Structure 1
């Protein structure tokens, strides 16, 4: 009897909160749950703030078309009385149907920008690298090692004893099928256990049964003692680390489009300049470099580049002499296209061009800058009436560039949703998702959680990574 009342309270608070928000990013994503239902979740968020759950829709047994997805998100908006006029951007993952949906949505609501989920694109490129035969074989062996030791209570216990003695604190990681980067995190965990695994596998009782007790599987022993496997595993980690680092750095509520572009450039630069070691598989290295190069061109959109250009500390990098870099004339073109879609006046458009030229030259009031671009543009030094570029920049720096929170929010309810435990209806899942989102925010005070992927640590600070920016501006331009 308490659940409906709690849901009504939270929904009422969300509706009141949404009334004062005009620069919202709408995120929608679909997945298949443990009961084999096709679910689509929709959230709203502003950069740096807690997302608001709009709804969860079950479209099992229906064709997932762009038109059907448009119906899903419009229904979600109505649930909390949100107008499309409050939206600045729509973010989805990037399969063909979602691309068609974004085009359809923008045709109906031309003032709303649309873009792909940046984390999904990075994850896809990790998957492409992992599709190389040498990588697939290495990952298969890693999975075999992890499966054996995580499912054998005796040998897992023996491994734990060695780990404690060696000071290894992490466990052998499993992976999630749709998250390709989790395969690399698994590879990192296996690599960290190399010494412990080898020490265990050379024991007599690991290879020959003593008193009828089980041994470690022969193919697992061979894999652990195979030097080539460890060389390939280390190479694969080295090749994918720039992309996994980027995912870790961007998987938070503060990441902007400019942060995404900086991480993409950094990953491409690291891959292009990565040294080849004597025992490397050259085919795998060249495949990874081609993949990242192709992915860079796909992900380097006008919108992402323009966001980097509008970052006061990133403008020099954005218009650098580096290969495939855009120029100030491109900034004019992109800005005018945006002004047209937002129905700005001719006078505002002319002033916008003048603003961009002043901004490029670093003239007052556009001189200087700080790591947090949104805070810089929000400051009092730039008059929004006299300089329309300020309104444009604030809209762009309000965009949430990924939809990672959707699956994280609802998938974390999987422990109570599994087939064996219960069969929660979709409305119940929606209710629990809404409440869980609110309770998490109450507990954390809305603080952003920055994740740590194995040894690939994310930054603690907010705003553009100044060390990375300085390095790229010096060495890449």
Structure 2
């Protein structure tokens, strides 16, 4: 009864919160629990807000694109979210686990011990039968090569971590790709062809982000707007793409005309766009949120672009918490109960985080008062 009451209160609070939000990013991802249930999470994201719309068990269904689209529409309808309140949808494709190679060389002795066990303690450790793998592991240069591979992969892993933060924007994708390319280019890599191969892969990956929205986002970053203008996307083409996007977001005709003028002024560094960032640490979101120049349409458009959440890390974190709730020991939870517990846990976690930040602010203010000189 307590759980039911808590969940009922949670649903009412969630519906109230969602009714006030616009410019949402919808995130969708799937996960299989340790009972074999195929669970899909649907989340609404906006900057630092992560709201679980629903967690459904779709084991008995075929996960086709049309089926998932219909399910998404059902979830949005139940939660009172109108299509016009959504500006983007993000799903997470299976990614290569680059971290598997990180730090392997640190454990060389332990790794060799496990290898010897596989050849001696056969009842517990089956023998590695693949001769090629044996030869690779026994090669003295194997772990030295791992060190080289780690150096190449580290900039990529670091970039992924930054892009999955709550402060990241679509503009950061090209910034990070450029940063990765520069860092790898400066490395001394002893393995012949590895650096060239890595740089080729990074360039290939960059070409996958050739949609207009990514160039628009980079263009809206004042220090990088001329970097966005390239052979692929001229300045005029970026402006036309921006106007098309504004039309998709239901900007009125007169608003689109004013946006066109603002974009031209911004491109040409005309006032009020001739002032630089306040500091190198200033975020792109804070620049546009604090922008006070006479360009309300560009301000509105930029905030819409930059509020888009570019990753599905929220769903992955949710699944990690579900894995803690439903373990091998607690394996009798039904998908419905797991969904309820997952949503409540996410809500309580958010509440605790808010209280911690509030207490931190109070503590800092108290410390300031104690340290403040008298007479002020």
TM-score by length of 2: 0.81
TM-superposed CA distance for 1:281, in Å, is 4.0
Verify the 8 A CA contact 1:32 1:38 in the aligned structure 2.
Answer: yes
Deviations 1:121-152 (A, max 9, x none): xx4xxx3xxxxxxxxxxxxxxxxxxxxxxxxx
Verify the 8 A CA contact 2:34 2:331 in the aligned structure 1.
Answer: no
Q: Distance in 1 between matches of 2:18 and 2:355?
A: 16
Residue 31 (1) aligns with residue 31 (2): yes
Distance 1:325 1:234, change over 3 A: farther
Deviations 1:137-195 (A, max 9, x none): xxxxxxxxxxxxxxxxxxxxxxxxxxxxxxxxxxxxxxxxxxx1331xxx22222334x
Distance 1:190 1:77, change over 3 A: same
Alignment of 1:315-354 (within 5 A): 315-319=225-229, 326-354=233-261
Gaps of 5+ in 2: 358-376
Q: Distance in 2 between matches of 1:68 and 1:350?
A: 39
Segment of structure 1 superposing worse, 414-423 or 288-297? 414-423
Verify the 8 A CA contact 1:50 1:446 in the aligned structure 2.
Answer: no
Verify the 8 A CA contact 2:103 2:150 in the aligned structure 1.
Answer: no
Q: Distance in 2 between matches of 1:445 and 1:237?
A: 37
Q: Distance in 2 between matches of 1:340 and 1:224?
A: 58
Residue 3 (1) aligns with residue 3 (2): yes
Tell me the matched-pair count: 345
Q: Distance in 1 between matches of 2:117 and 2:55?
A: 50
CA RMSD in angstroms comes to 3.1
Deviations 1:31-71 (A, max 9, x none): 22222222211000111x23000001122132211211112
Partner residue, 1:355 = 262
Verify the 8 A CA contact 1:242 1:267 in the aligned structure 2.
Answer: yes
Q: Distance in 1 between matches of 2:215 and 2:286?
A: 19
Verify the 8 A CA contact 2:288 2:303 in the aligned structure 1.
Answer: yes
Partner residue, 2:98 = 181
Partner residue, 1:441 = 350
TM-superposed CA distance for 1:208, in Å, is 12
Q: Distance in 2 between matches of 1:389 and 1:276?
A: 44
Verify the 8 A CA contact 1:26 1:90 in the aligned structure 2.
Answer: yes
Q: Distance in 2 between matches of 1:415 and 1:236?
A: 32
Residue 368 (1) aligns with residue 276 (2): yes
Gaps of 5+ in 1: 95-119, 128-179, 449-477
TM-superposed CA distance for 1:402, in Å, is 0.6
Q: Which of these residues, 303, 312, 318, is aligned with residue 403 of structure 1?
A: 312
Verify the 8 A CA contact 1:31 1:40 in the aligned structure 2.
Answer: yes
Distance 1:206 1:35, change over 3 A: closer
Describe the SS at the equivalent of 2:12.
helix
Residue 18 (1) aligns with residue 9 (2): no
TM-superposed CA distance for 1:85, in Å, is 1.9
Partner residue, 1:307 = 217
Partner residue, 1:93 = 92
Distance 1:261 1:218, change over 3 A: closer
Verify the 8 A CA contact 2:31 2:40 in the aligned structure 1.
Answer: yes
